[in-house]
Structure 1
Amino acid sequence: MDTSLAATTGWLLRGKDGRLTAYAPAAEGVLRWTETRPGGPEWSAPDLIPAPGILPYLCLAQGADGYVHMVGLRRKRLADGRTGTDVVYALQYQSGLAIRDWYPLGSPYPNDPALAEKIGLPSAVVDAEGSLHVFVRNAGGGVCGRSQVPSGKWNKWADFKGSGASGTVSASVTADGLMELLAPAADHIMRWEQREAGVKFERADDIPASAAPDSLTAERTGGNRLTHFWHDAGDRTVRAWRESDDTPSELGNGAGTGPVALLRTPVDGYDCTILAHRDAETGRPALAAYPSEEESSGVSWTLTGEPCVGAPALAIDARGRVVMAAFGTDGTLRVTRQKDESGLALEAWTRA
């Protein structure tokens, strides 16, 4: 497994048949582990989904239909010796089965390979109609996006403007199907939102915070609200922010790396937000939970398992248990599940 580029989370997904699948970028493709039955505990040996020329980075997006969209960046040598850069995606309809071919979406600079080579790594979301939307940091430090329409066709790349962005764009969807984009800059976080379904993005007020590049994620935490999470660019602690907040909240003193894995689920009958990240000091996965939208209640981080690479992921399995997964330093998939008892105690980690 190649983790030389930015880490991502959200790589552990449950298919329509209830089985979990883990995905990881690899040389010339994507590695995929799938539960042999819903709820596990056994997993299939990893199979390789070929993707020649794709960089060792993978963004995943899943819609209500359960289909999994894999999005990456492909570079190849052109006939004139320059490097061609394309955002590409592939679609998996069912857990563990073959996927459709990788489809090129090009870049915001179809006639300028030098500028195309400067775009950032892609992020993606699926809207309420099942259409895929992809976003990249452009060569000027702003954000560009390309959207699929319900018929399956694609609109042209759109420029949302902005400047000074670093790292990957964070894309999320509200419960009403409206998309929101965040992009970190030096001393603020740029933000775009949709006011109504089907309308163009509008620039919203910046968030007064400095986020570490490639660490932004979001979760629906109540009603039509999104809460955004990231690691502070200075002390690497986790921060949380909603549109109603004047300033971000600090969630405990656990410093981490990469993006924050998120999951909203009941724990002992209470609506909770569960977080996981890679601990900055030990490299081990760390877990935290608190009542959703009650950041003032305090958050404590608990280390678990052995050192990992990239970022951990969270999901709910077919039995309703919280599942935490991470990749060991040897590239193996490690998994732990919630015990069948009250609270959020986890079982011993196992190798898939």
Structure 2
Amino acid sequence: MFSGVRRLAPTTRRDLLTAAALCAIVPVGMAAASGARDASSAGPKHQPPALTTVSPSGTWTAAGRAPRTAESVVQIVAHPDDDLFFLNPEVGQSLRSGRPLTTIYLTSGEANGVNAPRRKDAQPRLFPAERDHAKYAKARQNGIRAAYAEMVTGDATHPWRRTVIATAGGGQAELDTLQGHPHIQLVWTLLHEAGSITGDRPHSLHGLWDGRVPTLGSQLVHGGEVARNFAYDREQLIRTLTGYLERFRPTQVRMQNPTPGRLDRNLKCADHQDHRYGARFVQEALARYASLGGRPHFTVQTYIGYFNGGLPGALDPASGASKARTIDTYAGDGGAPNACKDAAGCGDRKVAAHPKRNWTSTIHHAGDTGTNWLLIGEDGTLSAFAVLDGRIAQWHRPAGTGGRTGQARWSGPAFLTGTGFDAGIQPVTLPDGRLAVYGTRAVLGAGPAAYHREVGYTEQRRPGAAFGPWRSLGTPEQSDLVGTSDISAPAVSVGADGATTVFLRDSSHQLTARTRLPGGTWAPWQALGGRAVHSDPVTATDSTGRAYVLAATPRTVLAWVQDRPGGRVRGPLATGLPPTTLPLTVRPDGDGVRLYFRRPHSGNIRTAHLRASDLTPVRDPHGLRAGAPARVTDLGGAGGYGPASVTPAGWGDALLAARSSTGDLATAWLPAGVDPRPQRWSRTGFLLAGAPSGTATGSGGVVLTALGLDGRLYWTQTPRKGARFAPWQPVDAAATGRGDVSATPARSAT
């Protein structure tokens, strides 16, 4: 039990109530197209190489027929360039892998209509600084086409085929297909943008979401394929987006953050209003699409937007430079003047003046899977949990099914109750052997004012039995208006007496907790303090039974520790750790815990051992001044970003698994001993969704799992030291949705 902390006051961040209006009002469009394309019928499924095979994440795509793969990535963003700034390098990784990718732009991004550098000392203007919204929107289209063509073919001038498609909402959209590469497509929904980051703009996605305007109109581009104006009401926009999903049949959807939070310094929204409300319309469409049958399973990944500029850079120098070069191409830099031969311009000249803002050196997922989603029971039973189709999916492998990998008897996915879940779920094993799964989800409500996110759980009625209903724990937030429902994924600590504590980072960037007492009663939400926490919290228990909770700020890592098992918690405490790229992994390690994290601007994995006796009270607002800096060991790596999976094997070594700089899964063995250094890193060659998860087996071996971009669970294992890993195998063969009648949008807590 976590006691002795102050109760979360109902007036926390009172000033937000008066500042909330700053975050409202913004438009953005969406569109959908009729028709269908069955990606899974294109041919044999892609089989990833063996774990020990070192190979690139993808090769340059050759012109010709669409690749034979079950994968289909759909990206939906508010403005042209949101994908390049906030989703890349994952855009380029998918393009170079040869898999189908479609990017959908909701608005035309016309801004103030002036396509010119913002600074007088910028490069000379190649085009007049006239105010022409249609021409500026066209110039941005030209820049996007050049950037995508260059990422795929190496030639920014590679031609596109441009056509008009009817949308399910009654309007029209432009569909661009890269010639010779029919699996690479761009969709221009052509809606009017807000024209302001946080200003009051009723004719916007924000205004349409809130019902301040009945319809949102179009913004056509100069010389575009779509020649007639149109407008969407709220329902038409959702139908348009749902139609897109039906047409392109994604196995992964990439989208912007619907709950970006507020800035501490002025309480303004931390992201563009078009990003936020465009993403909420996407959530509505995804909920509707998920209820349909006959579609492939899909994962969803959300991305932090503008606030990336205030976070440590997550990309290594080479990846950051590559991302910056793509932005330069989009801006029209580096090529011959008017290479596209368009009077509107060949790129976004505003970006040419100041393309960085630290956005090109980083990428941060707004929610991730974490690395603790694979559990093993005392009898050797394996259970993996992830979010597919907005629902919690479970894969199961009974005990005693070792043998040859081709004969392993995995089953799944089977779906638990509830809908609308975020990716970062947390399964745990209770003292009596039952499993419980905690997570957060968006509740869309009967109207836009009802939108919020909640944390909750579902648990087995008895060990090995079915899971019960979803039980909501509510939220520590006052309202969506105050904090935009910006809460983290949960971390869950389970005591030997059965007391369970759920930890969250709230929208005030502090840690909060709610504890389930041994008798089953849940205590109220309590504030645990801290400042500028922006990571998901993580937790582990040392050999004495004391729980540790750790969370990252942009400058360091803060800690909270129990004085004794089941006792009160102290914190925040200074760890003396340097800045990280935010995602953390923690494991028990003797009388303390061992933390794993990434080095900024490198991707290298670092580790530090933390003990409660070494942690000191925070003495400054940023938690930097500690009694002594923690000793950090650099384990190297293969670049990349996101959390690292760390799995101790029975013989003492540990398996490290993490996303590499090219987006595929990389692994290395970390030898046991003092101040260890890992052996060489190996690339698996396939792109993954989220982060990997591993577990030690009862016989001392290791099982490693990962989600593919095709929506399937992949797994491999090694039984003993020195043995080769088995080839990666998918658990399910078809990965097609069953259209369960229970897969309906979340409307209220169940």
Query: TM-score, normalised to structure 1's length?
Result: 0.89
Q: 1:35 aligns with which of 375, 383, 397?
A: 397
Which has the bigger relative contact order, CA under 8 A and spacing at least 6? 2
Q: Deviations over 1:220-239 (max 9, x none)?
A: 22x32211111223212111
Amino acid of the structure 2 residue aligned with 1:42: R
* Equivalent position SS for 1:253: coil
* Equivalent position SS for 2:644: strand
Gaps of 5+ in 2: 1-297, 302-366, 403-407, 612-628, 732-750
Which residue does the alignment assign to 1:288?
669
Which residue does the alignment assign to 1:272?
653
Identify if the C-alpha distance between structure 1 residues 126 and 205 changes in structure 2 by more than 3 Å, giving closer, same or farther.
Answer: same
Contact 1:179/1:193 (8 A) holds in 2: yes
Whole-Å separation in 2 of the counterparts to 1:242 and 1:92 = 34
1:121 aligns with 2:505: no
Q: Deviations over 1:312-341 (max 9, x none)?
A: 11112354421111112212111111145x
Contact 2:498/2:518 (8 A) holds in 1: yes
Amino acid of the structure 1 residue aligned with 2:664: G
Amino acid of the structure 2 residue aligned with 1:276: A
Which residue does the alignment assign to 2:574?
205
For residues 117-266 of structure 1, what are the structure 2 equivalents within 5 Å? 117-203=485-571, 204-213=573-582, 215-221=583-589, 223-243=590-610, 246-266=630-650
Which residue does the alignment assign to 1:23?
385
Identify if the C-alpha distance between structure 1 residues 114 and 172 changes in structure 2 by more than 3 Å, giving closer, same or farther.
Answer: farther
Whole-Å separation in 2 of the counterparts to 1:126 and 1:344 = 34
Give, in angstroms, the shift of residue 287 of structure 1. Answer: 3.1
Q: Could you tell which deviates more after superposition, 228-237 or 64-73?
A: 64-73
Q: 2:702 aligns with which of 296, 302, 322?
A: 322
Q: Could you tell which deviates more after superposition, 81-90 or 185-194?
A: 81-90
* Equivalent position SS for 1:114: helix
Whole-Å separation in 2 of the counterparts to 1:97 and 1:58 = 20
Which residue does the alignment assign to 2:472?
104
Contact 1:277/1:287 (8 A) holds in 2: no
Q: Deviations over 1:75-128 (max 9, x none)?
A: 22456723232111111356764101111111223x434346122222212122
Contact 1:191/1:207 (8 A) holds in 2: no
Higher helix share: 2
Whole-Å separation in 2 of the counterparts to 1:338 and 1:206 = 35
1:11 aligns with 2:373: yes
Gaps of 5+ in 1: none
Q: 1:71 aligns with which of 434, 438, 459?
A: 438
Contact 1:170/1:181 (8 A) holds in 2: yes
Give, in angstroms, the shift of residue 55 of structure 1. Answer: 2.5
Contact 1:189/1:208 (8 A) holds in 2: yes
Which residue does the alignment assign to 2:412?
45
Whole-Å separation in 1 of the counterparts to 2:457 and 2:633 = 35
RMSD of aligned Cα (Å): 2.3
Whole-Å separation in 2 of the counterparts to 1:120 and 1:114 = 17
Whole-Å separation in 1 of the counterparts to 2:553 and 2:411 = 41
Identify if the C-alpha distance between structure 1 residues 98 and 63 changes in structure 2 by more than 3 Å, giving closer, same or farther.
Answer: closer
Identify if the C-alpha distance between structure 1 residues 288 and 63 changes in structure 2 by more than 3 Å, giving closer, same or farther.
Answer: farther
For residues 303-318 of structure 1, what are the structure 2 equivalents within 5 Å? 303-304=683-684, 306-318=686-698
Q: Deviations over 1:301-322 (max 9, x none)?
A: 2223633221111112354421
Contact 1:38/1:317 (8 A) holds in 2: no
Amino acid of the structure 2 residue aligned with 1:32: Q
Identify if the C-alpha distance between structure 1 residues 36 and 128 changes in structure 2 by more than 3 Å, giving closer, same or farther.
Answer: closer
Identify if the C-alpha distance between structure 1 residues 202 and 299 changes in structure 2 by more than 3 Å, giving closer, same or farther.
Answer: farther
* Equivalent position SS for 1:291: coil
Give, in angstroms, the shift of residue 217 of structure 1. Answer: 1.2
Identify if the C-alpha distance between structure 1 residues 64 and 273 changes in structure 2 by more than 3 Å, giving closer, same or farther.
Answer: farther
Whole-Å separation in 1 of the counterparts to 2:566 and 2:424 = 29
Q: Deviations over 1:205-262 (max 9, x none)?
A: 233211222x2111122x3221111122321211101126733111123323321112
Whole-Å separation in 2 of the counterparts to 1:316 and 1:300 = 21
Which residue does the alignment assign to 1:346?
725
Identify if the C-alpha distance between structure 1 residues 108 and 33 changes in structure 2 by more than 3 Å, giving closer, same or farther.
Answer: same
* Equivalent position SS for 2:395: strand
Whole-Å separation in 1 of the counterparts to 2:703 and 2:601 = 30
Q: Could you tell which deviates more after superposition, 239-248 or 140-149?
A: 239-248
Whole-Å separation in 2 of the counterparts to 1:250 and 1:326 = 25
Query: TM-score, normalised to structure 2's length?
Result: 0.43
Which residue does the alignment assign to 2:21?
none
Amino acid of the structure 2 residue aligned with 1:9: T
Whole-Å separation in 1 of the counterparts to 2:543 and 2:725 = 29
Whole-Å separation in 2 of the counterparts to 1:128 and 1:285 = 35
* Equivalent position SS for 1:160: strand
Identify if the C-alpha distance between structure 1 residues 105 and 347 changes in structure 2 by more than 3 Å, giving closer, same or farther.
Answer: same
Amino acid of the structure 2 residue aligned with 1:235: S
Identify if the C-alpha distance between structure 1 residues 236 and 70 changes in structure 2 by more than 3 Å, giving closer, same or farther.
Answer: same
* Equivalent position SS for 1:256: coil
Q: Deviations over 1:157-177 (max 9, x none)?
A: 111111111121112222222
Contact 2:299/2:388 (8 A) holds in 1: yes
Amino acid of the structure 2 residue aligned with 1:289: L
Identify if the C-alpha distance between structure 1 residues 281 and 34 changes in structure 2 by more than 3 Å, giving closer, same or farther.
Answer: same
Whole-Å separation in 2 of the counterparts to 1:285 and 1:94 = 37
Identify if the C-alpha distance between structure 1 residues 241 and 235 changes in structure 2 by more than 3 Å, giving closer, same or farther.
Answer: same
Q: Could you tell which deviates more after superposition, 180-189 or 89-98?
A: 89-98
Q: Deviations over 1:274-311 (max 9, x none)?
A: 3221223241242332205x234455322236332211
Q: Deviations over 1:47-74 (max 9, x none)?
A: 1113123233312222443322211112
Identify if the C-alpha distance between structure 1 residues 67 and 275 changes in structure 2 by more than 3 Å, giving closer, same or farther.
Answer: farther
Contact 2:417/2:470 (8 A) holds in 1: no
Identify if the C-alpha distance between structure 1 residues 314 and 274 changes in structure 2 by more than 3 Å, giving closer, same or farther.
Answer: same
Identify if the C-alpha distance between structure 1 residues 37 and 194 changes in structure 2 by more than 3 Å, giving closer, same or farther.
Answer: closer
Whole-Å separation in 2 of the counterparts to 1:115 and 1:247 = 40
Higher strand share: 1
Bigger Rg, structure 1 or 2: 2
Q: How many correspondences in the alignment?
A: 344
Identity percentage over the alignment?
23
Q: Could you tell which deviates more after superposition, 228-237 or 282-291?
A: 282-291
Which residue does the alignment assign to 2:299?
2
Whole-Å separation in 1 of the counterparts to 2:370 and 2:495 = 20
Amino acid of the structure 2 residue aligned with 1:275: L
